[in-house]
């Protein structure tokens, strides 16, 4: 066995952090952590790993001319301006449905991207991303690369955001597949993961030649914990932005 140390400050960091009306963003990514998907799309940045996974989907589908990323990472100030302009131009009701308050927007994490079908007139706030053609092919491929459609139809009561077929969020694999198979939003998935505590039954799944093991470790903001994991096991930790850390272990089966 080997030791992994977890720190309370990790609660607000990682691919699974929950950022919504009730959960405020604790820290934004640093500029050096951001990267363009390709120079093809101008100033649209995402966290480096997220950008590269997005590029892999585009490359596999060869959809560079058919799908356009129109919004990735936004700073606090960019989100503030967008929010205020939407309130003035679109009104309170529209803004409440589609635009998050500053420090409550997934776009400030560098983990979220808005995509549009490449047409002449693209609406920046509500871009067209239909459930057919190349856009649907992207949607069907997304979970294999760690992405989810963040605000699906009929989940408005849970997310508090209207359906947004264009908004995709990186959570990483295998979380994306578990969420898709279980028809779970990120809010629902994080509650689900809390049932797999460190000393209890863990969530285990396999994909090709790898086995994944997931469990949740509650932790206080100023606390440090040691967790023992098997040798020859890779480990990734992500906070939930609430009160704990999700550990994702994986090992090669061959």
- pLDDT number for residue 89: 93
- pLDDT number for residue 155: 96
Query: Which fold, 25-170?
Result: Muramoyl-pentapeptide Carboxypeptidase; domain 2 (3.30.1380)
Torsion angles phi and psi, residue 160, rounded to 5: 65, 20
- pLDDT number for residue 245: 98
Q: Catalytic: which of 35, 106, 149, 164?
A: 164
- pLDDT number for residue 95: 93
User: From CA 23, how far away is CA 86, in angstroms rounded?
Assistant: 22
**Active site (annotated) includes residue 164:** yes
Q: What is the pLDDT of residues 179-202, one digit of tens each?
A: 999 999 999 999 999 999 988 999
Query: CB of 206 within 8 A of CB of 178?
Result: no
Please determine whether the domains at 1-16+173-254 and 25-170 fall in the same fold group of CATH: no
Please report, for residues 78, 165, 171, the alpha-carbon distance to residue 198 in angstroms, rounded to integers and kept in the order given.
39, 35, 21
What is the residue extent of each domain of the chain?
1-16+173-254, 25-170
- pLDDT number for residue 108: 98
Q: At the top level of CATH, which class does the domain 1-16+173-254 belong to?
A: alpha beta
- pLDDT number for residue 253: 82
- pLDDT number for residue 1: 85
User: From CA 245, how far away is CA 144, in angstroms rounded?
Assistant: 23
- pLDDT number for residue 192: 97
The low-confidence residues of the chain, meaning pLDDT below 50, are none
Structure-token pair, residue 149 = 């459609």
Q: What is the pLDDT of residues 73-112, one digit of tens each?
A: 999 999 999 999 999 999 999 998 899 999 999 999 999 9
């Amino acid at each position: 066995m080997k030791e992994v140390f977890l720190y309370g400050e990790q609660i607000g960091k990682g691919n699974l952090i929950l950022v919504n009306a009730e959960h405020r963003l604790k820290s934004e990514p640093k500029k050096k952590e951001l990267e363009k998907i390709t120079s093809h799309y101008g100033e649209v940045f995402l966290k480096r790993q997220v950008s590269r996974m997005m590029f892999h989907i585009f490359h596999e589908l060869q959809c560079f001319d058919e799908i356009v990323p129109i919004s990735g990472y936004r700073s606090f100030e960019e989100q503030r301006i967008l929010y205020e302009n939407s309130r003035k131009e679109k009104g309170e009701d529209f803004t409440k449905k589609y635009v998050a308050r500053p420090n409550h927007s997934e776009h400030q994490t560098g983990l979220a991207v808005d995509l549009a079908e490449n047409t002449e007139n693209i609406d920046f706030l509500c871009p067209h991303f239909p459930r057919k053609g190349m856009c649907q092919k992207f949607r069907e491929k997304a979970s294999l690369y760690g992405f989810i459609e963040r605000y699906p139809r009929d989940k408005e009561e849970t997310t508090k955001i209207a359906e947004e077929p264009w908004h995709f969020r990186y959570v990483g694999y295998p979380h994306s597949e578990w969420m898709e198979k279980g028809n779970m939003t990120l809010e629902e998935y994080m509650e689900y993961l809390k049932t797999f505590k460190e000393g209890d039954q863990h969530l285990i799944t396999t994909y090709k030649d790898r086995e994944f093991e997931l469990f949740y470790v509650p932790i206080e903001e100023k606390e440090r914990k040691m967790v023992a994991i098997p040798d020859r096991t890779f480990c990734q930790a992500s906070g939930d932005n609430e009160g704990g850390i999700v550990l994702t272990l994986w090992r090669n089966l061959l």
